[in-house]
Chain A
Amino acid sequence: MNHRVNTLRQQSLSTPVTLSHERACLVTEFYKTRVSPTQSVPVQRALCLSHILSNKAVFIGEQELIVGERGPVPSAVPTYPEVCLHSLSDLDILDSRPKVPYRVSDETKRIYREEIIPFWEGKTIREKIFSAMTPAWKRSFEAGIFTEFQEQRSPGHTAGGTLIYTNGFWDLKEKIRTAMDELDVTADPGALDRREVLTSLDIAADALIGFAGRHADVLDTMAHETTDPERKAELERMAAVCRRVPAHAPETFHEALQYYWFLHVGVITELNPWDAYNPGRLDQNLYPFYKRDIEEGRLTREEAKELLCCFWVKFHNHPAPPKVGVTAKESNTYVDFCLINLGGVTADNRDGVNDLTYLVLDVIEEMRLLQPSSMIQVSRKNPDRFIKRALKIVGTGFGQPSIFNTDAIVQEMAIHGKSPDDTRLAGASGCVEAGVFGKEAYILTGYFNLPKILEITLNNGRDPRTGELIGLETGDPKDFDTFADFFNAWERQVRHFVNIKITGSNMIEQINARFMPVPLLSLVTEDCIRNGKDYNQGGARYNTAYIQGVGMGSITDCLSAVKHHVYDNKTFDMATLLDALASDFENNDILHHQLLKAPKYGNDDEAADEVLRKVFDAYYGAVTGQPNTRGGVYRINLLPTTCHVYFGEVTGALPDGRKKGLPLSEGISPVQGADCCGPTAVLNSAAKIDHLKTGGTLLNQKFLPQFLESDKGRTAVVQLIRSYFKMDGHHIQFNVVDAKTLRKAQEDPESYRDLIVRVAGYSDYFINLTPALQEEIINRTAHSGM
């Protein structure tokens, strides 16, 4: 790492995260003074973005090569009062909480008290959403049956495609003009709406070109003022880059990176979309520029690496927007889920691993930053050495990169009627969510608590925590004669809650479509221009909505235990089980032990895995294919982020022997500690569901560090991955750290500040996790090669 990169990296790591009022003030000013009732909402939103980008501070750091910050300075995180409004107590908690704080100055608090809160109270999207939800939705939401992704952040969940590498914003403006010319006002009743959307996209394009121009001006001034001839030349070059992109299609590696970065800052300034924004298939997108620059002698490999390192620091400068309604206890993460994809196949379906892929892997290893997250796509066409190179980084205990199955992703996409060319541009973003980059709005709507629904079923529709009837009255479980009857009751409850969830989500989609369009994101998402529709209105080529099932391992083990003990072996009856659950197994050691000994998922045990398949089919059947309001359908994926901890807190004792309040299993990983036959058994069990029917599954494996130390160990893991992927597994990630180290870190957090672990679809600093999550990670079974 050279001096520049080291300095920028250290600065980024040591800068405390602060909350900035800059954006909130500009948005408020805009809506107070510049909105006219004659403007359509899309145009208002575009003008609002333009107002922010024309007036926000331009920051250019010493030694930077890639420029552009969302806040006035690095790690200063803006707020989005039009979506959700921080209360003064939120600000106090964010400022003072020991883990993952956002420092809030007294000045910011004053501005919030005097200007922001009085203006936005009652006008936020969050309030619109909650007032539009039905009582049934609210009861389920409060009971912890599901969460809602859009209550604090706008829909995003997308990654940039290839469009910007061949089109400057002037080209896109030309396309907008053509689309406007083609509007048929006499025959198309939506023509006016389309014109307004297209106008908003055009304004957004100008706004970002202007923002880049402001950077170019400042860079010119700095170049003029500096006495260092080397830096002067750099600043002049950077200014020239900022005058070219995003207005024009990039011609060099540097321009391509800077173009993406302006777009990234623009998208996350426009609103606070989930997973920020994402350059997607970085090595594929940049390779033509890299190759040409190197061949034509404009760039060396070292210079390319330096630019990439500077690019990496920019992601790290942008922590996730802070949540509202926070409790002091609740920790959070600075990670904003931008997931860089490497490898996989090219657009014409050949091995996509190239020299730049390996260079980016070097950057990931050297930078060792939480953000951006990284993953490798593994196709059967990719060479083993590529996987091994990635495993060397995994072996350093950094939790990155995670590993995805390109061949599965392509099929997951193809199943839903996408064109073959588009499926090869697909990847995974966020944690593990699959989509066609640049052409698909695949919106995550919320986590779905499958085990909690079993608890509701065991209580005939009531939530034992509150006594409230929130589900269907499917009958007293003591009256079910067969396991099939029992399972059927659970499945009916699942359908009931899925329908509540979908009704709510469809309403939320319409709220965002009508009140919170995103002109800039729409500009760069195909086919919003052609359709004359915003991203949030279904303008993208493909429009998917995902509901993320949580607790597959837990629910499988619960149902397996009931089947095994109550129905098959009649070890005890349902009444005895219900009593034991109600008392959290108090004075019921024998029964508790029997439950723990029932067949468990993750051991390649058909008795348990057959239940898994039934669970999967039930959840898949309840969700998949239901229409959303953007012209697409709902689909499932199976990932928890950290929600398995929250869902566990609201769920009582369960028939798998899990005690009240403890975390559920995460992703499709087995219940923590329930797997005891090694990794091949876990993978075999996990492969018994049809991953191709999902939009992503998450499998966490904890390995001891020795596992990846030797070449033989890494080779074996490569083969393990190949076999899992041959069985259509979607994703696997490795936590490589031993329990002893984690215990030491709990005792002495200060000495383990840099210890990074894989949580679920992302990595985080171990000491920043809540105690419950720390325990959960320690309890995941560690495999060793025997």
Chain B
Amino acid sequence: MTNYSPYIFRIQRYSIHDGPGIRTTLFFQGCPLRCRWCHNPESHGRPERLPEGEMPGLVAGLVREIEKDLIYYDDSGGGVTFSGGEPLCQPDLLAALLAACREREIHTCLDTSGDAPAAVLERTAPAADLVLYDIKAVDVRLHERITGKPSDRILENLVRLEGLGVPYRLRFPLIPGYTDSGENISEILDFLVAHTTCRDIHILPYHNTAEAKYRQLNMTPPRITTPPEPAAIEAAARRFRDCGFKVTIGG
């Protein structure tokens, strides 16, 4: 089997927070964002270029890994989730995997930050059964400060996704000091209410399990050290609920 690690840096089986049911999550190498709280800093390096002709072998090997847990997907209504990093960074691999899974009737989730060219989103998202779409901030400068990239393309892509008619659910990472201000939540709500129809949002409270990873990679861990207080999580949840959202805490 083709060594997948330059493209998929980790395969996590029994994922229960990345979409419905029991899932296998494939973490794609490479990400255009540099979120200050990133849980997967090992994804930051660019993926290697896949040598000519290697794609079928790589996909076949990954599908074999995915198929190992078919019985659990079937019993739990689960499937496979493509996450990262940013899966849209490797559109060819993503498209091939999505197609292979659809052919095999394996439920797919695309977990994305949305920061990709419009054409990439249009090519891949319709091939997924469910998109998990991150929304971190609306304000361009805030977004740039906390993720390294402005928000405009991400917001445009969200509207585009809406137009594609692909089922999706929103994910809002609640990060103390970065995304948790009342103002940011207001702006997000305003945007969503004005431009989208999805009223299903998952609030993902920050957790500091990645600290050890940063040390291992000789990187400076994020400065946030404490997860948000339950009261703060509840307050944020109430804001969304008040605007008619179905809110779930966690993935």
A residues neighboring B (CB under 8 Å):
604, 677-681, 684, 710, 712-713, 715-716, 719-720, 722-723, 726-727, 783, 785-786
Q: How far is the CB of B211 from chain A (nearest CB, A)?
A: 16
Assembled-state Cα–Cα distance A713/B249 (Å):
13
CA distance A678 to B74 in the complex (A): 18
Min CB distance A388 to B, Å, is 13
The answer to whether B22 touches A716 (Cβ under 8 A) is: yes
Contact yes or no, A678 B13, CB < 8 A: yes
Pick the contact of B68: A679, A681, A716 (CB < 8 A): A681
Q: How far is the CB of A15 from chain B (nearest CB, A)?
A: 42
A sample of 11 cross-chain residue pairs with beta-carbon separation below 8 angstroms, ordered by A number, consists of A680-B14, A684-B69, A716-B14, A719-B21, A719-B72, A723-B75, A726-B71, A783-B14, A785-B14, A786-B12, A786-B15
Would A681 and B22 be within 8 Å (CB), given that A723-B72, A723-B75, A727-B71 are in contact? no
Which residues of A sit under 8 angstroms from B21, Cβ to Cβ? 716, 719
Question: Which 8 pairs from chain A and chain B are nearest by CB?
Answer: A719-B76, A785-B16, A678-B14, A716-B16, A678-B13, A723-B71, A723-B75, A723-B72
Q: How far is the CB of A295 from chain B (nearest CB, A)?
A: 37
The docked-state distance in angstroms from the alpha carbon of A678 to that of B16 is: 12
A604 to B71, CA, bound (A): 13
Main secondary structure of the interface of A (DSSP, over half): helix
| Residues of chain B lying within 8 A (CB to CB) of residue A719 | 21-22, 72, 75-76, 78
B25 CB-CB contact with A under 8 Å: yes
Asked whether B123 is an interface residue with its Cβ less than 8 Å from the other chain, the reply is no
Binding site for A on B (CB under 8 A): 12-17, 21-22, 25, 68-69, 71-72, 74-76, 78, 250
Q: Which residues of A contact B25 (CB under 8 A)?
A: 786
Residue with the highest number of chain B CB atoms closer than 10 Å, among A679, A680, A713: A680
| CB of B82, distance to nearest CB on chain A (Å) | 15
State A681–B22 Cα separation when bound (angstroms).
Answer: 13
Residue of A nearest to B72 (CB): A723
Residue from A680, A712, A722, A785 in contact with B69 in the complex, judged by beta carbons closer than 8 Å? A680
By secondary structure, the B interface counts as: mixed
Contacts of B14 in A (CB 8 A): 678-680, 716, 720, 783, 785-786
The distance in angstroms between the C-alpha atoms of A680 and B22, with both chains bound, is 9
A722 touches B17 (CB 8 A): no
Instruction: List 18 additional contacts besides A678-B12, A712-B16, A719-B78; criterion CB under 8 Å.
Output: A678-B13, A678-B14, A679-B14, A681-B68, A684-B68, A684-B69, A710-B250, A712-B250, A716-B22, A716-B76, A719-B21, A719-B22, A719-B72, A720-B14, A723-B22, A785-B17, A786-B12, A786-B16
Q: What residues of chain A lie closer than 8 Å to B22, measured between beta carbons?
A: 680, 716, 719-720, 723
Question: Which residues of the partner chain B approach A681 to less than 8 Å between Cβ atoms?
Answer: 13, 68
Smallest Cβ distance from A502 to chain B, in angstroms? 37
Query: How far apart are B108's CB and chain A's nearest CB, in angstroms?
Result: 18
CB distance from A420 to the nearest CB of B (A): 27
CA distance A715 to B68 in the complex (A): 20
Among the listed B13, B15, B72, B250, which residue makes an inter-chain contact with A677, where contact means beta carbons less than 8 Å apart?
A: B13
Residues of B within 8 A of A786 (CB): 12, 14-17, 25
Query: B68–A680 contact, CB under 8 A?
Result: yes
Q: A680 CA to B14 CA in the complex, in Å? A: 6
Inside 8 A of A678's CB, which chain B residues have their CB? 12-14
Complexed CA–CA distance, A606 and B17 (Å):
28
B183 → chain A closest CB, angstroms: 30
Complex formed: what's the CA distance from A681 to B65 in Å? 10
Q: Across the interface, which residues of B come within 8 angstroms of A684, CB to CB?
A: 68-69
Q: How far is the CA of A604 from the CA of B64 in the complex (A)?
A: 12
Residue of B nearest to A719 (CB): B76
Nearest-Cβ distance from residue A441 to partner chain B, whole angstroms: 36
Minimum CB distance partner of A716 in chain B:
B16
Cα of A713 to Cα of B251 in the assembled complex, Å: 11
CB distance from A720 to the nearest CB of B (A): 7
Given contact pairs A680-B68, A719-B76, A720-B22, A785 touches B13 in the complex (Cβ within 8 A): no
Task: Contact check, B68 vs A785: say whether CB atoms are below 8 A apart.
Answer: no
Q: Of all chain B residues, which has the CB nearest A715?
A: B76
Q: In the assembled complex, which residues on chain A have CB atoms less than 8 Å from the CB atom of B72?
A: 680, 719-720, 723
Question: In the complex, what distance in Å separates the CA atom of A680 from the CA atom of B13?
Answer: 7
A604 to B68, CA, bound (A): 8
A589 to B68, CA, bound (A): 34
CA distance A681 to B72 in the complex (A): 11
Q: Which residue of chain A has the shortest Cβ distance to B248 in the bound complex?
A: A712
Please measure, in the bound complex, the distance between the C-alpha atom of A726 and the C-alpha atom of B75, giving whole angstroms: 9
B68 contact set on A, CB distance < 8 A: 604, 680-681, 684
Contacting residues, chain A, for B15 (C-beta < 8 A) = 785-786
| Most chain A Cβ neighbours within 10 Å, of B13, B14, B22, B71 | B14
CA distance A677 to B12 in the complex (A): 7
Q: Please, which residue of chain A has its CB at the minimum distance from the CB of B77?
A: A719
Name the distance in Å between B127's Cβ and chain A's nearest Cβ: 24
Nearest chain B residue, comparing its CB with the CB of A681: B13
In the assembly, what is the distance between CA of A157 and CA of B216, in Å? 52
Residues from chain A with Cβ under 8 Å of B13 in the complex: 677-681
Q: When chains A and B are docked, how far (Å) is the Cα of A726 from the Cα of B70?
A: 12
Chain B residues, Cβ within 8 Å of A720:
14, 22, 72, 76
State the CA gap A684–B67 with chains docked (Å): 12
Q: How far is the CB of B107 from chain A (nearest CB, A)?
A: 14
| Complex CA distance for A745 and B17, rounded to whole angstroms | 31
Interface centre among A678, A681, A715, A727, by most chain B C-beta atoms within 10 angstroms, is: A678
The chain B residue sitting closest to A710, CB to CB, is B250
CB within 8 Å for A713 and B16 given contacts A680-B68, A681-B68: yes
Q: Which residue of B lies closest to A721 (CB)?
A: B75
Q: Which residues does chain B contribute within 8 Å of A783, judged by CB atoms?
A: 14
Q: What chain B residues lie within 8 Å of A679 (beta carbons)?
A: 13-14
The answer for the CA separation of A610 and B76 in the assembled complex, in Å, is 28
Residues on B with beta carbons closer than 8 Å to the beta carbon of A604: 68
Please report the C-alpha to C-alpha distance between residue A719 and residue B69 in the assembled complex, in whole angstroms.
12
With the chains together, A677 CA to B76 CA distance in Å?
A: 19
Minimal beta-carbon separation of B144 from chain A (angstroms): 30
Q: How far is the CA of A684 from the CA of B75 in the complex (A)?
A: 14
Interchain CA distance A727-B71 in the complex, whole Å: 9
| Minimum CB distance partner of B251 in chain A | A712
Bound: A677/B11 CA distance, A: 9
Chain B residues with CB under 8 A of A715: 76
A379 to chain B, nearest CB (A): 15
Which residues of A are found within 8 Å of B78, using beta-carbon distances? Answer: 719
How far is the CB of A73 from the nearest CB of chain B, in Å?
A: 49
* Contact partners of A680 in chain B: CB under 8 A: 13-14, 22, 68-69, 72
| A-side contacts of B16, CB under 8 Å | 712-713, 716, 785-786
CB distance from A463 to the nearest CB of B (A): 40
Which partner residue on chain B sits nearest A727 by CB separation? B71
Q: Which residues of the partner chain B approach A727 to less than 8 Å between Cβ atoms?
A: 71
Q: How far is the CB of B60 from the nearest CB of chain A, in Å?
A: 16
Tell me, in angstroms, the Cα distance from A722 to B72 when the chains sit together. Answer: 8
Q: How far is the CA of A720 from the CA of B78 in the complex (A)?
A: 11
What is the minimal beta-carbon distance from A732 to any residue of chain B, in angstroms? 14
Instruction: Give every chain A residue within 8 A of B75 (Cβ-Cβ).
Output: 719, 722-723, 726
